[in-house]
Structure 1
Amino acid sequence: MSLINTEVKPFKATAYKNGQFVEVSNADLKGKWSVFFFYPADFTFVCPTELGDLADNYEEFQKLGVEIYGVSTDTHFTHKAWHDSSEEIKKIQYPMVGDPSWTLAQNFEVLIPGEGVADRGTFVVDPEGLIQVVEITAGGIGRDAQELLRKVKAAKYVHANPGQVCPAKWKEGDATLAPSIDLVGKI
């Protein structure tokens, strides 16, 4: 079963953010856009490149009213240690959520059976707490924050403009489509 248009299941977790441990829960999602960015583990190889890319683009996500939640099955203590020891990870200002109980990884269906770590899963959640974008890649395939920004903008546009859809490669300001019988076979 697809997670698209399903509500984020209840959760409570501890995150490391800006030098502090903070509690986060599904209640924090209501009324704003969110991105859950699952990665396998701290102190690894592809993960810091992805998280650093998100950090470099975090201001743009914030301008759109989007909060990023970086999530791994490590603890919030491990997130702090990694943040303190890596120049790439020091750039991160968004919450780094610890999921040692695997609650979030199981809720979002990205827990790798028998390994205790998450797949590279990206989920865009709308202000009602419904999942609008799901992307899961194999461990060796890093993601691109600019492409994620494009998908967030498209999801926000479709959410705000019922009856409109964004075609392939759509970028903010490009033409959209209004599905109708008149378009069948004309695209």
Structure 2
Amino acid sequence: MSLIGKEVQPFKAQAFKNGEFVEVSEQNFKGQWSIVCFYPADFTFVCPTELEDLQNQYETLKQLGVEVYSVSTDTHFVHKAWHDTSETIGKITYTMIGDPSHVISRNFDVLIEEDGVADRGTFIIDPDGVIQAVEINAGGIGRDASTLVNKIKAAQYVRNNPGEVCPAKWQEGGETLKPSLDLVGKI
């Protein structure tokens, strides 16, 4: 069952951000655009490359009004230890949420039950707390965070321009479509 168009389910969790522990809930996803990036585990191999790549896009995303959250089934204490010991993870300034109870991973339908870890899932959430985009990758396939910038711009454009849609490979300022009977069979 797809989560597109569904509101993020309630949760409360501890997170690590900029040297502090903070509490996070689904309410943090309201009032702004959010990206939630699930990954299997701290102290692993593909995960730090993805999280660093996400950090490299973080300033651009913040300029677009987007907050970024990473989530694994590790605790917030493990996130801090990883942050303190890894040069790569030490660069991260966005919120790293711990999900040892698996509530968040289950809410987003990314928990691999038999392993107790999350799939590589990326979710774009609108300011109403509603999921607008989902990408799930197999464990060995890392993600490219630069693709999130265009997806966010397209999602923001569609939200701000009802009745218009963004075609494949749409870039900001590019031509959009207005679905109508006149377009049927002409594209």
TM-score by length of 2: 0.98
Aligned residue in 2 for 1:17: 17
- Structure 2 distance, partners of 1:78, 1:71, is 12
AA aligned opposite 2:129: G
User: 3-state DSSP class of the match of 1:51?
Assistant: helix
For these two proteins, the number of residue pairs brought into alignment is 187
User: 3-state DSSP class of the match of 1:78?
Assistant: helix
TM-superposed CA distance for 1:179, in Å, is: 0.5
Query: Could you tell me whether the CA contact under 8 Å between 1:56 and 1:91 is conserved in 2?
Result: no
- Structure 1 distance, partners of 2:124, 2:26, is 14
- Structure 2 distance, partners of 1:147, 1:30, is 23
- Structure 2 distance, partners of 1:35, 1:66, is 7
AA aligned opposite 1:39: Y
Aligned residue in 1 for 2:121: 121
- Structure 1 distance, partners of 2:173, 2:144, is 21
Report 1:53-132 matches (<5 A): 53-132=53-132
User: 3-state DSSP class of the match of 2:68?
Assistant: strand
User: 3-state DSSP class of the match of 1:87?
Assistant: coil
Overall identity of the aligned pairs, in %: 68
TM-superposed CA distance for 1:29, in Å, is: 1.5
AA aligned opposite 1:186: K
Aligned residue in 2 for 1:142: 142
- Structure 2 distance, partners of 1:104, 1:156, is 25
Aligned residue in 2 for 1:175: 175
Is the aligned partner of 1:4 residue 2:4? Answer: yes
TM-score by length of 1: 0.98
TM-superposed CA distance for 1:135, in Å, is: 0.5
For structure 2, list consecutive stretches of 5 or more residues without a partner in the other structure: none
- Structure 2 distance, partners of 1:95, 1:135, is 20
TM-superposed CA distance for 1:113, in Å, is: 2.0
AA aligned opposite 1:180: S
AA aligned opposite 1:9: Q
AA aligned opposite 1:31: G
AA aligned opposite 1:173: G
Q: CA RMSD in A?
A: 0.6
